[in-house]
Amino acid sequence: MASFNSFCAVVFFLISFNLLIEKLAASEILLPSKDPSSSRVNYAPRPLSPYGTYLSNCVKELKPKCGEQIFFAVIVGNQTVSNYCCLSLVNDMGKACHYDVTTYAANLPAYKKNKTQILNRCDKIWNYCSSLGSAPYVSKFDSV
């Protein structure tokens, strides 16, 4: 969990919505060295909290590539969400997970200054995606 890959490969949706959550929820803790004369500090990953595990499981429900797409649409605001990923968001992830993951990310120091905009985009994307209904997936390659 100490690597960027364990974080969801891009800060909680950054490279993949999935890799991001794992990294956010699993920060490092310092452990004292066994050798008291050593000035080196050992780093060990902290296990995920129950809430971190919940968020990680939420993100894992998304179809491949959709986590990244949704992250950039919600957190960064520079991408649209394809119908394929919208349907995955609504049918696979669900509203509660979407809001919980977004709220968690919006409260991180890196994104806190944009929290209002992030939460507004979260609502906007959820409303758009849920308006598509629960139609079957059109194509695996629909603008993913």
Instruction: Give the tens place of pLDDT for each residue, 70-108.
Output: 999 999 998 899 999 999 999 999 999 999 999 999 999
Residue 49: which H helix or E strand, with range?
A: none
Q: What is the pLDDT of residue 104?
A: 95
- Residues in the chain predicted with pLDDT less than 50, given as ranges, are 1-33, 137-144
Q: What is the pLDDT of residue 7?
A: 32
Q: Cα–Cα distances in Å, from 5 out to 13, 16, 45?
A: 11, 9, 13
Q: What is the pLDDT of residue 36?
A: 54
Q: What tokens does 60 get?
A: 């894992």
Cα of 125 vs its chain's centroid, Å: 15
Q: What is the pLDDT of residue 141?
A: 39
